Amino acid sequence: MSTNGSGNGVDRKYKWVGTRPIRHDGVDKVTGKANFGADLSFPDMLWGKMLRSPHAHALIKRIDASKALAIDGVKVVATGADLPDLASAETEGGEGGGNMRDLAHNVMARDKALYHGHAVAAVAALTPELADQALAAIEVEYEVLKPVLSIEEALAPNAPILHRDLRTKGVKDSGPTNVAARIPFVKGDVAKGFSEAEHVVERTYRTQTVHQGYIEPHAVVARTNPDGQSVVWCCTQGAFVVRAYCAAVLGLELSQLKVIPSEIGGGFGGKTTVYTEPIAVLLSRKSGRPVKMVMSREEVFRATGPAGAAKVEVKLGAKRDGTLVAAQARLWYEAGGFPGSPFGAGSMTVFAPYDVPNISIEGFDVVVNKPKTAAYRAPGAPQSAFATEQALDELARELKLDPIELRLKNAAKEGTQAAYGAKFARIGFVETLEAAKKHPHYRAPLGPNQGRGIASGFWFNVGMQSSAEVHLAEDGTATVITGNPDIGGSRASMAICVAEELGIDVTKVRPVVGDTETAGYCDLTGGSRVTFATGLAAIEASRDIAQQLRERAAKIWGSDVAKVEFVDGRCQPAKGSGLDHAPLSVADIAKQMARTGGPINGRAQVNPRGAGPGFATHLCDVQVDPDTGRVDVLRYTAIQDAGRAVHPSYVEGQMQGGASQGIGWALNEEYVFDQNGVLENAGFLDYRMPVASDLPMIDTVVIEVPNPGHPYGVRGVGETPIVAPLAAVANAIHAATGKRMTELPISPPRLLAALQQ
């Protein structure tokens, strides 16, 4: 279901934008011909495996690999001593970038293991079984230290310090600490605002560590050529990021690496960094043979980047009529063993959907002895929205206001300035709320032990760098080449952009995901940026083609190019030009390219701003079993402003997928650690993700309030859908039970305990 926002400022009729063509890679995917990360092998290949720390916090006193190397068929062993010791340096690249020294030490521990599963050594052998034998033969002497397993433990006065050289960014003269950074945002005078408030809600909320849950484990094959260049095949959200990170970790020049992205079986932000990739290259360079490394599911849980736990304190002040006058938040995010949680994004998004005159926000990045966190779909925003949207629900109930009306009264609009500094252009938050209010779901009757919750979500979206090339074939068909792995249908959106600009059938456009040598530089597939930014590059490259077609038509007609216009896939005489020629199609001109100047290729490179914030409002109905605490989601509706839905099916799929993941996060998912920091549920049997039988059919409403920062009005859509579900589910449970659940997951034991109090 789609609706148009009024006054959108983008008035254009489209031929292909908004249609639902079959995805170009669909046949290969459904027939099993698509090559994923673990599908590549070479005849002389070695198998690489990692030895991982059994301790969450321990000094590494000694590593002896002599017995492993003595095993016949074991070719090489690598430890941190084989890697350069990098200086601490911030860099961009992943979602938020990071510190390259920390990245390198996360890939392979040096003097200290910082979480259970931290890699301490690697081997390459003729078979996986021999590699396992080699791992068992490596002797490591540890000095076990007390682990830090929560925000409270990390902040305690006598807490063990993970990094003796860590100082709090943003805090003057801080000593050794587990708080890596502090970030403040201030708008207005929050003390004055609360003095004017007639009603105040103040609560503390907690979420636990959760994993993205992608089905395909991390996999890589690295081969080193005789000329010294290493070629890397891997499942990743960004080939150029893998190249940059591997080069940094290994001390290589970028020209010494080529990265070829495979098809990707899910990522959701978790494949925006590197784990085994640099080690596979190292083992290949040491052995002179190709090396393949495939993580087990247990390794994925223990040693890749989940979304960290968070503690969020929220205080809202309002007038009796529901007008918000003050908002305050303090947010602590677990970063894992190294700094770099999404505390900044969480702080930016915590109050962003609302126009509040007085705001104070403090965010903190806290290191603990758990796996280093990575991006997970709108990183940081679901945790902060879980707090704000529940506090708003509580405020609405105490003021006896409809929860949608409360949000409408305070909704951010065009011209609203967020606490983090941005002033919004045209946005569609109000439209999502109005659509929710009018939706049949909001008026549907409820039965015993059932409740309905509403919550809204925000993600700012990003632009970043992208390149695209469009090549025209002699028959008028086209190829568009970009460097972004397709994780959500971006091949289709690239083809649609080219077809729209050139006026040719979308089936005549072949989208190609290039490697780091065949495609121009593209930042990773993440941040809800690809259809916005890389699509913009494809549009501009297509317009480059259109300009060349005008020039070729002018040459064919012997006229000035100013007298030729390109309209709907044809070059034709411009009005008032005095020319009298039949229009030439793209195919007509392409057939004559050899005699009119040679090949016709378009290219573009962009670094755009104006990505256009995304807003969503979700409705959730649940039924609670009072005897067991079990929660069933009965009905769910996700409403979101997509700006312009280039391919509506994929927009709807993103909305449904984000809602599904958010529901799992709310109800069941969490990392369970024992007192020593050992992860106890490192597998899908014990880490409870929702499956089809756990969910209803998720209804979607696509709102289209075009983004003025894009020629088609596109906004990113992939991350916003996961922001609202945590609070929507919690608010529905409160409506059903009267219990305000401030800690996730709201699992049956936790809810039953609350019901029995």
- Count the Cβ atoms, other than its own, within 10 Å of residue 409: 17
CATH number where 427 lies: 3.30.365.10
Q: Is the pLDDT of residue 21 over 70?
A: yes
Write the pLDDT tens digit of every residue in 474-508: 999 999 999 999 999 999 999 999 999 999 999 99
Distance CA(223)–CA(238), nearest Å, equals: 19
Distance CA(598)–CA(282), nearest Å, equals: 44
Q: Is residue 561 part of a domain?
A: yes
Which pairing describes strands 359-367 and 450-459: parallel, antiparallel, or unpaired?
A: unpaired
Write the pLDDT tens digit of every residue in 97-121: 579 999 999 999 999 999 999 999 9
Phi-psi region at 561: left, alpha or beta (left = phi > 0; alpha = psi -120 to 50): alpha
Q: Is the pLDDT of residue 2 over 50?
A: no
433 with 562, same domain?
A: no
471 with 432, same domain?
A: no
Q: Is the pLDDT of residue 91 over 60?
A: no
Q: Is residue 559 part of a domain?
A: yes
Q: Is the pLDDT of residue 36 over 80?
A: yes
Residues 6+ positions from 666 with CB-CB distance below 8 Å: 725, 726, 728, 729, 730, 744, 745, 746
Query: pLDDT class for 185, splitting at 50, 70, 90?
Result: very high
566 with 441, same domain?
A: no
* pLDDT for residue 114: 98
Query: pLDDT class for 94, splitting at 50, 70, 90?
Result: very low
* pLDDT for residue 657: 98
Q: Is residue 579 part of a domain?
A: yes
Show which of 563, 582, 606 is a domain's final residue: 606
Query: pLDDT class for 12, splitting at 50, 70, 90?
Result: confident
Q: Could you list the residue range(s) of the whole structural domain that residue 728 is in?
A: 1-8+422-461+612-757
**Could you tell me which of 750, 734, 749 has the C-alpha nearest to residue 622?**
734
* pLDDT for residue 89: 62
Q: For residues 437 and 174, which has the higher predicted lDDT (pLDDT)?
A: 437
Query: pLDDT class for 170, splitting at 50, 70, 90?
Result: confident
Q: Is residue 662 part of a domain?
A: yes
Q: How many domains does the structure of the chain reveal?
A: 2
541 with 444, same domain?
A: no
Show which of 606, 641, 676 is a domain's final residue: 606
Instruction: Please compute the mean of the pLDDT values over residues 166-175 and round it to a whole number.
Output: 87
Compute the Cα dihedral for 670, 672, 677, 683 and give only its sign.
Answer: negative
Q: Is the pLDDT of residue 4 over 80?
A: no
* pLDDT for residue 97: 55
Query: pLDDT class for 172, splitting at 50, 70, 90?
Result: confident
> Which strands, in side-by-side order, build the sheet including 119-125?
74-79, 119-125, 46-52, 291-294, 219-224, 230-234, 257-261
Strand partners, 122: 50, 78
Instruction: Please compute the mean of the pLDDT values over residues 245-261 and round it to a whole number.
Output: 98
Percentage of residues in the chain having pLDDT higher than 70? 97
Give the range among 159-173, 286-300, 470-484, 734-748 with minimum mean pLDDT.
159-173
Distance CA(348)–CA(344), nearest Å, equals: 6
Q: Is residue 14 part of a domain?
A: no
* pLDDT for residue 95: 53
Write the pLDDT tens digit of every residue in 465-475: 999 999 999 99
Please report how many Cα atoms fall inside a 13 Å half-sphere around the Cα of residue 2, on the Cβ side: 16
DSSP H stretches of helix in 399-445? 403-410, 429-438, 440-443
- b (16+ CB within 10 A) / e for 566-587: beebbbbbbeebebebeebbbb
593 with 692, same domain?
A: no
Token digits of residue 197: 């408030």
581 with 628, same domain?
A: no
Strand partners, 567: 570
Show which of 540, 572, 606 is a domain's final residue: 606
